[in-house]
Structure 1
Amino acid sequence: MFHDLHPCRHPDLPARLRDETERATAVVLERVLEEIPLYRTLDPVQLADVRETVRIGYEATLELWAAGRLAAPEQLPPFRDNGATRAAEGRPLPLVLRAYRVSGLGIYDYVVDHPEVRLDPEEERNFARLTMAFVDQLSNEVTLGYVETTGQLANQQGRARREFLEDLLAGRLLGAAEVDERASTLGLVLPRSPRLIVAAPRLGDGSGLVDHARIALRELDRSHQADDDTPFRLQLITRGQLVLIDQAADPAHVRRALDAAGLTGVVLTVENLVDLAGAYQQARHVHEYLRTAVVSAGTVVAGDEASLLAVLAKARGDALTKPATSAILGDLLTPAHAVLLETLDAYFLTGNSVSAAHRLGVHAQTMRYRLKRIREITGRDPGLGWDRFLLETALRLSDRPDRVT
């Protein structure tokens, strides 16, 4: 489109206009500030940087006009660097590109409206085409530098946030002041009572944790949008679990998000991020217990539920637990009675024999026979209050290889 550019027909004109660089820069800069009000809020150092960019652009435009060509590749890196600088400053790319367009138009108007410049229509058109093409060239370079730096900054920021969460989970931060300082350097405003979420796919689900996590995060974002809230979040995938520190307006949102993603999870409110390490250990152990003990398929537990399960999870590893559970369940723990143990599991999960039979895909009569055998072997009736409590507690604390999922 711009291959037919030609050198200025007045060889001395670009050089004469270059002698007015300082005045032209001031005029064009004033136009930028007038048309882009946000630039008026820049600090003196930033404003001086913009002025220098305008000055370089003005001189380069005159040089190219004299030569009748666009910028050579070796002339473009400074403008790509300019895009990188603007990205690092956090200045929006559309605003930066608009400043370049306004500057280009300002340079064009300064030249063609100059009282000592008389351009015929063809030369004026040539200068307009060159200015437009040069601005397009610079915009492309600025965009490349901006996008490249933005990606690098995002990667660095993401890495720094992951390291921050890892340190919190490991208890490597010694006090509130250190936590606040690290958060401040990452641009994070810590919520008063964030929620710790530890989640993983349901037992037996062979799909990847990353895919489940992506769905959960998307659903959590939707809940924040519904609350017109900006989410605070730190996230990490470790030890086969998704770990989140999330500011959720409603615990029910977390439950729905994890359920939609096919995850089991433990949700704890953390009053002080300094104490996150202890809460994380509790949540992780409860979650492992939740999945293997099959309290309820796809369960998300929070608050007091998690605290109670923490007690059970701890008791499961106690030296006294195995003898106690073996005494109550007896021969049900032997491989020969694995079907009866599965039946007991289903009975406790569903709450009655009819639903348990449906869950296992067996006839009601078969279910009744199996419950009878359980009573004969253990001497306890799973339908009676105290016996049910003992049998289910022993079942949840037992260390058996095959579990209903």
Structure 2
Amino acid sequence: MARRSTGPAPGDVPADVAAFVQALREISLAGRTLSAKERHDLHGAGADAAERGVPLRELIKGHLAEMWRSWATLPGVAAAQNTDALKRIGEAVFRAAEDAVGELTKGYEETQRWTVRRDESLRREFIDDLLTGRDLGQLAERAERYGLQLAGTNVVAAASASQSFLDSGAATSSVQAAMSLRFSSRHVLVAAREGLLVCVVPHDLAGAPEEFARQVSEVVGRSSRWRVGLGQPQSGPGGAVRSFEQARNALDIADRLDLGERFVKAADLLVYQVLLRDSAALGELVTAVLEPLHGARGGAERLMNTLEAYFASGRVTTATALTLGIGVRTVTYRLDRVRELTGYRADDPAQAFTLQVAVLGARLLGWP
């Protein structure tokens, strides 16, 4: 007959493992399967282990190890009269062990899935509050869960693309994983918000915004349409809201002006924000200066494009012609037409300033 093994003292065995062994003792005598209550208790033990963060392999190992230690002491095993009886008992016990592993795993995985969904929901709520400024009183405390120090200074970058970013999208997950691997998830928060991909990082985490832009280009495709706007560093619980608004405004201005840069900083676009703060006055300037261009043959757009290229080239006609793919004489002719229609000379420093501000304002306001 099997020898009696020496196992841990009864008080050293967890309650759920002890209950499992007790079930095996009864099964070794009756040859039955696990009862509904025993299955329910094992399912609950798996759920409890998941809540406590116990690894699944350790949970299963603990139950099976105690089964092996208790094998020789099971009443049915000790009372077996022959090999056939011992074989029947072994089949019943091992079948019960297999069923027990299944119940432990189901309880563990169900709770783990629920925990993941709960954590995702809490994370979404936190990001919404962080980027809208709600519940600022408790925001700093909640931020610690995600490694953010809202009492310090943070900066927000926001990416736009031809297709909106989604919380559950592959692009969002890929960028989040890459940024966490590069900078540690305790310092970087990446999430989708209003179709944009948003990244919140400490302002002194060197290279983080640039790496975010690089990762966006990787997942979207370098040849696809995308752009990243960077807000200015802001401190305090409400700092992320202000920096996010700046990043979003930078994207908006860059799109209105059709800037070629993929990575735009709010700090570099302050002059345009100043212009937009009094859009009524800006609209009056645009109308007063540029409205006469509608009288040109073919409309105002061609002359507007020429003015834009002329100012972008530093008021050099040859460079303007090269940019537009036209002759220098054509550029000169168009600038003369602007002077005839508006009364402003593009080659006169004082008058050119008024023209340039009006052209910028027109693009910002979507004129004509």
TM-score by length of structure 2 reads: 0.75
What amino acid is the match of 1:101? L
**In the alignment, what sits opposite 1:233?**
189
Is 2:14 aligned against 1:56? no
Q: Structure 1: which 5+ runs fail to align? A: 1-9, 11-22, 31-49
Tell me how far apart the structure 2 counterparts of residues 140 and 24 of structure 1 sit (CA, whole Å): 28
Choose from 102, 107, 111 the match for 1:145: 107
Tell me how far apart the structure 2 counterparts of residues 70 and 347 of structure 1 sit (CA, whole Å): 87
Q: What does residue range 224-373 of structure 1 map to in structure 2 within 5 Å?
A: 224-227=180-183, 230-233=186-189, 235-238=191-194, 240-246=195-201, 249-250=206-207, 251-260=209-218, 261=220, 262-268=225-231, 269-294=233-258, 296-297=259-260, 299-302=262-265, 304-305=267-268, 307-315=270-278, 317=279, 319-332=280-293, 336-345=299-308, 352-353=319-320, 356-357=323-324, 370=334, 373=337
Tell me how far apart the structure 2 counterparts of residues 285 and 67 of structure 1 sit (CA, whole Å): 74
Measure how far apart 1:134 and its partner are.
Answer: 2.3
Measure how far apart 1:149 and its partner are.
Answer: 1.8
Q: Look up the SS of the partner of 1:194 in the other structure.
A: strand
Tell me how far apart the structure 1 counterparts of residues 167 and 322 of structure 2 sit (CA, whole Å): 32
Q: Look up the SS of the partner of 2:230 in the other structure.
A: strand
- 1:267–1:106 Cα change, 3 Å: farther
**In the alignment, what sits opposite 1:89?**
52
Tell me how far apart the structure 1 counterparts of residues 331 and 291 of structure 2 sit (CA, whole Å): 20
**What does the per-residue CA deviation read over 1:16-51, in whole Å, with 9 as the maximum and x for residues that have no partner?**
xxxxxxx99854775xxxxxxxxxxxxxxxxxxx71
Tell me how far apart the structure 2 counterparts of residues 190 and 224 of structure 1 sit (CA, whole Å): 13
**In the alignment, what sits opposite 1:134?**
96
Tell me how far apart the structure 1 counterparts of residues 39 and 125 of structure 2 sit (CA, whole Å): 37
Give identity over the alignment, percent.
Answer: 20
Q: Structure 2: which 5+ runs fail to align? A: none
Report if the CA contact (8 A) 2:42-2:104 is conserved: yes
What amino acid is the match of 1:271? S
RMSD: 4.1
**What does the per-residue CA deviation read over 1:287-336, in whole Å, with 9 as the maximum and x for residues that have no partner?**
32232232x14532236225455334434x3x211112233434346882
Measure how far apart 1:70 and its partner are.
Answer: 2.7
Q: Look up the SS of the partner of 2:156 in the other structure.
A: strand
Report if the CA contact (8 A) 1:325-1:397 is conserved: yes
Tell me how far apart the structure 2 counterparts of residues 91 and 363 of structure 1 sit (CA, whole Å): 75
Tell me how far apart the structure 2 counterparts of residues 109 and 368 of structure 1 sit (CA, whole Å): 103
Tell me how far apart the structure 2 counterparts of residues 146 and 381 of structure 1 sit (CA, whole Å): 77
What amino acid is the match of 1:215? A
What amino acid is the match of 2:181? Q
**In the alignment, what sits opposite 1:158?**
120
**What does the per-residue CA deviation read over 1:322-365, in whole Å, with 9 as the maximum and x for residues that have no partner?**
1122334343468822233345456667884356336xxx7888
**In the alignment, what sits opposite 2:154?**
194
Report if the CA contact (8 A) 1:81-1:142 is conserved: yes
**In the alignment, what sits opposite 2:141?**
181
Measure how far apart 1:53 and its partner are.
Answer: 0.4
How many positions carry a matched residue from both structures?
A: 348
Tell me how far apart the structure 2 counterparts of residues 157 and 151 of structure 1 sit (CA, whole Å): 10
What amino acid is the match of 1:81? G
Tell me how far apart the structure 2 counterparts of residues 158 and 139 of structure 1 sit (CA, whole Å): 28
**What does the per-residue CA deviation read over 1:94-128, in whole Å, with 9 as the maximum and x for residues that have no partner?**
322222332332332544999x6666444444444
Measure how far apart 1:58 and its partner are.
Answer: 0.7
Measure how far apart 1:154 and its partner are.
Answer: 1.8
Report if the CA contact (8 A) 1:221-1:231 is conserved: no
Report if the CA contact (8 A) 1:217-1:257 is conserved: no
Range with greater deviation from structure 2 (275-284 or 210-219): 210-219
Q: Look up the SS of the partner of 1:76 in the other structure.
A: helix
**In the alignment, what sits opposite 2:28?**
65
- 1:78–1:66 Cα change, 3 Å: same
**In the alignment, what sits opposite 1:210?**
166
- 1:311–1:91 Cα change, 3 Å: farther
What amino acid is the match of 1:258? V
Range with greater deviation from structure 2 (127-136 or 342-351): 342-351
Report if the CA contact (8 A) 2:275-2:361 is conserved: yes
Q: Look up the SS of the partner of 2:146 in the other structure.
A: coil
- 1:66–1:112 Cα change, 3 Å: closer
**In the alignment, what sits opposite 1:77?**
40
Tell me how far apart the structure 2 counterparts of residues 213 and 381 of structure 1 sit (CA, whole Å): 52
- 1:65–1:118 Cα change, 3 Å: closer
Report if the CA contact (8 A) 2:178-2:215 is conserved: no
- 1:281–1:110 Cα change, 3 Å: same
Tell me how far apart the structure 2 counterparts of residues 258 and 130 of structure 1 sit (CA, whole Å): 57
- 1:348–1:216 Cα change, 3 Å: farther
- 1:188–1:400 Cα change, 3 Å: closer
